[in-house]
Amino acid sequence: MKFLEYTPLDRLNDFLTHLNLGDSTIKGCLEAYSCKHTGTDKKLSVSLENEILDYLGNSSDTDSSSASDFLLSRTSRKTLIYLVLTLNHMYPDYDFSTVKAHQFFTEESWDIFKQIVDTYMFEASKEWIETNGSSSLLEALYKSLDEVVKSTECEIYSYNPDTDADPFLERGAIWSFNFFFYNRKLKRVVSFRLCCLSNLVADEFRMVELPCEEDSEIFDVFNDMDMRVQ
């Protein structure tokens, strides 16, 4: 997978990097990747394919019949592998190379994505219009995605891991969403991370850390006094 730079995504990333809404802050990021293998991608792809096939071979008939289409067809397995490789490039310090990853991906429709943006990004959308004119945030998202991965040709997936194993979550997170727009023909993926953080929790966390900093300053004063006495 190779990170791709696209100007249409820059404007949205600048807006969503740290959008303070008073009680909360919206943080979002769109990144584009080519599905062309680089570095250790090919080796990891083969490893994932073998892991999935072993999993299917060792599963009971009941397990196999209820398994996701990600695992049952070669095309879907290939899609899963691209999604896992994208996650690995987004978070290189976190290990996503596991067959269980298929349990956390769900194929979505544009209508579902639209509903989530309209609901959770309502205040952010008002800020976008005030800053950028009449075009809505959703329209800007659609236009940018269309330029990069052809929106109408995309398969959309959401990634919803267990809370304890979610590298996307940050301290004070109120909600978070992770979408992947995959164009099979273009062999290109756009990831869209979006989360809302409580400013109250962030402020409390900073207040808890403050005494430690004050203690350090006090010790520095005592050390200076000792040096003068000597």
Contacts of 40 (CB under 8 A, 6+ apart): none
* Distances 117 to 22, 62, 74, 124, 140 between C-alpha atoms, Å: 19, 37, 32, 9, 12
As to burial, measured by CB atoms within 10 angstroms (0-12 exposed, 13-18 middle, 19+ buried), residue 79 is buried
Domains located in the chain, CATH noted: 2-200 (3.40.1000.50)
Tokens of 226: 């000792």
Contacts of 6 (CB under 8 A, 6+ apart): 32, 144, 147, 148
Contact (CB, 8 A) for 162 and 100: no
Is pTM, for the whole model, over 0.85?
Answer: no
Tens place of pLDDT for every residue, the chain, 230 residues? 899 999 989 999 999 999 999 999 999 999 999 998 888 888 888 888 888 888 777 765 445 444 555 677 888 889 999 999 999 888 888 877 666 667 788 899 999 999 999 999 999 999 999 988 778 999 999 999 999 999 999 999 999 887 666 777 777 789 999 999 999 999 999 999 999 999 987 555 454 444 544 544 544 544 554 444 44
Q: Which residues pair with 106 in a beta bridge?
A: 158
